Amino acid sequence: MNALQHFLAMGGYAAYVWPAYALFFVVLIADTVAPRLRRHQVLRELRARLARQSVRQERKPPSTPASP
């Protein structure tokens, strides 16, 4: 058995050690990705709202008369 196989075998406890480490990384990666996705969503919604506002302002001219 070479060194890598010996390492991966974890003295016979591979079925417990590696899933534990895998879960650690999967959960933390999910925790890192989730706020990034939310950030994109928040900014996209905000830009859509700003675009709607500017369209509304163009359609309705300001009530105060413009100076000549």
Partner 1 sequence: MSNWIPLWLHRLSSPPTFYRFAGTLQPWAMTLALLLGAVALYGGLVLAPADYQQGDAYRIIFIHVPSAWMGMFIYAVMGVAGFIALVWRIKLAEVVAMQSAPIGAAFTFITLVTGSLWGKPMWGTWWTWDARLTSELVLLFLFLGVIGLYHAFEDRRQGARAAAFLAIVGVINVPIVHFSVNWWNTLHQGSTVNVFGKSTMSWDMLWPLLTMTLATKCYYAASLFRRVRTDLLDLEGGKDWVRQIAESEADR
Binding site for partner 1 (CB under 8 A): 7, 10-13, 16-17, 19-21, 23-24, 27-28, 30-32, 34-36, 38-39, 42-43, 46-47, 49-50
Structure tokens of 23?
A: 């879960």
Work out how close the CB of 1 gets to partner 1 at its nearest, in angstroms, rounded to a whole number. 14
Q: How far is CA 38 from CA 29, 32, 35, 64, in A?
A: 15, 11, 5, 40
| Amino acid in the structure at residue 16 | Y
State the Cα–Cα distance between residues 18 and 3, nearest whole angstrom: 17
Work out how close the CB of 67 gets to partner 1 at its nearest, in angstroms, rounded to a whole number. 26
Is the CB of 16 or the CB of 68 nearer to partner 1? Answer: 16
